[in-house]
A and B are shown apart, each in its own frame.
Chain A
């Protein structure tokens, strides 16, 4: 019994210590962001790597999600003669929930895992150590550009995902299933609110998810054991922890923004 309690205590202390290190890591990242005013080229290169290169998966996924929403919405609303509301259903689903959540999950799988692997390998091959021995701090030079680029890319990708999703829903509902195009857009315009829906959903949620996804990815890479197995485990942990964190924070944010409590 004592052994179990000891083990449990050690596990909890280990997790708390890791959480503490993660918070110190975030503080160091935030402190290093000012360096990017001096070297904006570092940020632009990373924006391309994490943002532009994530576009194909975001565009294709957004299109299919919007098309599926159009199909499912039509199948349910047609029984009540309410297919004119399909535009609202598709838009609100994407803007409030699916856009920010799915974009962040896809980003974690494509760019987050790549960031962890890249930083982990830089550590394993002593590139970070050699940088430190050249009196160059890797936080402003390597980590901060990736962090800021990721934090900027996620909201932009979320906006693109949502817009493409709505177009996908329009394509299925209006062009394939015969829903009135005017009603599709008019209902959407009437029901979707700028601050309550778009600012809360697309902007605030995606910023929070962007910070979470990039913080976790970079921290896991930085803390990875400098072996091939260590980097592999860190990459897996990034995807799992980021996914759970995004879903948990989504519930929290939804409860705060749209909840009835």
Chain B
């Protein structure tokens, strides 16, 4: 059994958290994804939610964004309980959130420029000239102003993610949600993204939530880390605190050790029984 730590135990100072997750439970089919999960995201910080694959990190982002509803507990974003909002209220809240999807999720029938201009066109009545200026500013921020006329199919994975980042910040959101931003990136793209996430957070006064299992890159830019496993927060703290954690589980995860309390094998009946079984398949 993994240790469970409540974030309430830590004495945070400052303003109220931007995101507060209380006693969250969520189930997919028969499988419990979260069981009384508690965490808080402080304003202005880069907070990383980390854990092994399949622990429900992306599901947590979807819950925070109101794409799915929890079974129990509550999620508050800027004082609003996400799953109690009407559709219109939820959409108003989402205009203040930016999401970077793992795949980038660019609209394949629109050019890079049109992708970035899309939220501006949908939610503002700005003149075309101003939309162009704003879209070019966002593209300049991610270093892709020169790629404005390319189509998504012409972009590399790293470029697509940077365009998606420019689109996500087009409306100057209060909060950015990053779903596995470093997955599948080459070292240079990864370095660029790491720098961009930190720079944009500080320059635009954002609050960022990164869901990732890339320990090294995430620990470099995160102000605070939550480690989740088996539906609960296992440990949380600053990267330095977690690197020094006495927990064997945290030590195995943070230092990517193949041996430790986390088993290599998925839960299964004894190996010998399986091999000697007469059942086929």
Interface residues of A (CB under 8 A from B): 125-127, 129-137, 141
Contacts and interface: CB of A to CB of B under 8 A. Distances in A.
Given A134-B118, A135-B91, 18 more contacts: A125-B108, A126-B103, A127-B106, A127-B107, A127-B108, A129-B67, A130-B99, A130-B105, A132-B94, A133-B65, A133-B97, A134-B94, A134-B167, A135-B92, A135-B95, A135-B123, A136-B118, A136-B119
The 8 closest A-B pairs by CB, nearest first: A130-B105, A126-B105, A135-B91, A135-B94, A133-B99, A135-B95, A126-B101, A134-B119
Interface in B67-112: 67, 91-92, 94-95, 97, 99, 101-103, 105-108
Contacts of B97: 133
B215 to A, nearest CB: 25
Interface residues of B, number: 21
B122 interface: yes
Nearest to B164: A130
Interface string B49-66: 000000000000000010
Contact of B101 (A130, A136, A137, A141): A130
A130 B161 CA distance: 13
Contacts, number: 45
A45 to B, nearest CB: 9
A216 B99 CA distance: 31
Contacts of A131: 107
B87 to A, nearest CB: 8
A119 to B, nearest CB: 12
Interface in B131-147: none
A131 B164 CA distance: 12
Nearest to A141: B122
Contact of B105 (A125, A135, A137, A141): A125
A129 B122 contact: no
